[in-house]
């Protein structure tokens, strides 16, 4: 495994030596700026290429931010972090007992605020740093040694989570966005006793009602049960959440537009793009939060996401502006076979939190192609 070591160099040499020793002790290959030598490319371009070639990044943050690079306005270490974030695993360490300069304090806050893709640790001196890096690399090896990541297999599992596509999707209360998420490497992240634990149930129940990305209607009750080995939360004619022992997640979110007079009176004839976009973002955020709860040590590194809209046959697709300007007109959609096809994508797990907007677009636009009246 190739491990890129990212930190300031000047004044940090003993810590970089410690990181190299830890990587080599476990028989991995360190990639470090000190080893690049003369090149036609700029030193930072060579470092960024070395990072792209690596399988894993060790990020060490001390007191100093480092010289700012022309063009980006960031330090070399900050550029490397931005390049790696969301694309490959990053193990970040922050030095204890320091008073960082202003730019470095902001950088540390940015790293510590990334909720989706970091194993975090601290260190005091080169010896403790070497020990921390050794442990973190060993833990990472254990987490990834279960099975290789198979993108095609993950996509198949994600799509298999979705309920059978029917003309009305099995929903009597309007269209429903259904999203299935499968993780890789494929492995169990919850024991049977854990999936039946009341603290997990209560956490997900509360998050579904009052969290940062609530999925349930707070005016209605939420039913919870264990169904075929999975924990299920659902509201009658409303949202549904399911998670099983391997961390696979199924979400169903209503696509009712309460801002529309037509929808309030049961006459909505089109899917509203802004609402679909909002519900995709909610589904991804809630799924990311649930994964963090059940798999805090990041055994799951990659995810496949399958999304489909059910219960929407003979409906068109409009923006809110289009719906307002065409109020009272009826749009009949006749391409049901495409509409019942799922959009399936693969992504690194951190993208659920870091690149949510991009993921939403990557799902929304193919879904829109199934309906959009031209």
Q: How many angstroms separate the CA atoms of 254 and 237, rounded?
A: 8
Percent of the chain with pLDDT over 70: 84
Q: Do 258 and 205 sit in the same domain of this protein? A: yes
Sequence-distant (≥ 6) Cβ neighbours of residue 270 within 8 angstroms: 315, 316, 317, 318, 323, 331
pLDDT of residue 372: 61
Per-residue pLDDT, averaged over 240-258, amounts to 92
* Pairing outcome for strands 249-254 and 240-243: antiparallel
Residue 170 structural domain: 151-371
Collect all residues with Cβ–Cβ distance below 8 Å to 319 and sequence separation of at least 6: 272, 273, 274
Q: Which among 123, 144, 165 is the end of a domain?
A: 144
- Quick check: 167 pLDDT over 70? no
Of 144, 159, 176, the residue at which a domain comes to its end is: 144
Same domain, 166 and 237: yes
The span from the CA of 235 to the CA of 50, in Å, is 50
Residues 100 and 180 in one domain: no
Tens-digit pLDDT profile for residues 10-37: 999 999 999 999 999 999 999 998 887 6
pLDDT in tens, 129-141: 999 999 888 877 7
**Residue at a domain's end among 90, 121, 144:** 144
Q: Where are the alpha helices (DSSP H) in 26-75?
A: 43-53
**Tens-place pLDDT, residues 175-234:** 899 999 999 989 999 999 999 999 999 999 999 999 999 999 999 999 999 999 999 999
The answer on 276 and 203 residing in a single domain is yes
pLDDT at 78 (0 to 100): 95
pLDDT at residue 261 above 70?
A: no
What's the sign of the alpha-carbon dihedral 349, 351, 357, 359? negative
Does the pLDDT value for residue 374 go beyond 50? no
**pTM greater than 0.85:** no
Cβ pair 276, 364 in contact under 8 A: yes
Mean of the per-residue pLDDT values for the chain? Answer: 86
Alpha-helix residue ranges (DSSP H) falling in the chain = 13-25, 43-53, 76-84, 102-112, 126-144, 151-161, 192-195, 198-210, 261-264, 273-294, 320-325, 336-339, 351-354, 356-371
Whether 99 and 115 share a structural domain? yes
* 182 and 117 together in one domain: no
């Amino acid at each position: 495994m190739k491990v890129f070591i990212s930190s300031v160099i000047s004044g940090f040499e003993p810590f970089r030596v410690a990181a190299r020793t830890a990587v080599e002790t476990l028989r991995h290959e360190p990639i470090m700026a000190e080893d690049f030598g003369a090149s036609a490319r700029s030193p930072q371009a060579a470092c960024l290429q070395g990072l792209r070639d690596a399988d894993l990044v060790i990020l060490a943050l001390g007191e100093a931010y480092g010289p700012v690079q022309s063009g980006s306005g960031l330090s070399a270490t900050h550029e490397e972090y931005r390049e790696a974030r969301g694309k490959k695993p990053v193990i970040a360490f922050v030095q204890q007992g320091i008073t960082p300069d202003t730019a470095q304090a902001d950088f540390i806050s940015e790293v510590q605020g990334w909720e989706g893709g970091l194993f975090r640790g601290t260190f005091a001196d080169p010896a403790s740093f070497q020990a921390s890096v050794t442990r973190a690399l060993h833990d990472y090896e254990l987490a990834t040694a279960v099975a290789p990541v198979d993108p095609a297999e993950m996509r198949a599992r994600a799509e298999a989570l979705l309920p059978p596509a029917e003309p009305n999707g099995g929903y009597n209360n309007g269209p429903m966005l259904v999203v299935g998420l499968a993780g890789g490497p494929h492995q169990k992240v919850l024991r049977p006793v854990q999936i039946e634990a009341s603290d997990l149930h209560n956490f997900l129940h509360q998050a579904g009602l009052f969290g940062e990305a609530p999925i349930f209607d707070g005016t209605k009750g939420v039913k919870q049960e264990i169904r075929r080995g999975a924990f299920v939360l659902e509201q009658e004619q409303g949202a549904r959440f399911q998670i099983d022992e391997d961390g696979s997640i199924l979400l169903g979110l209503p696509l009712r537009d309460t801002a529309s007079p037509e929808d309030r009176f049961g006459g909505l004839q089109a899917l509203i793009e802004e609402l679909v976009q909002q519900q995709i973002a909610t589904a991804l955020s809630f799924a990311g939060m649930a994964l963090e709860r059940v798999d805090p040590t990041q055994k799951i590194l990659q995810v496949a996401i399958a999304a489909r809209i059910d219960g929407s046959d003979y409906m068109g697709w409009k923006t809110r502006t289009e719906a307002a300007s065409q109020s009272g007109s009826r749009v009949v959609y006749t391409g049901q076979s495409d509409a019942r096809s799922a959009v399936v994508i693969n992504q690194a797990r951190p993208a659920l939190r870091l690149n949510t907007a991009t993921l939403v677009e990557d799902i929304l636009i193919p879904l829109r192609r199934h309906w959009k009246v031209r």
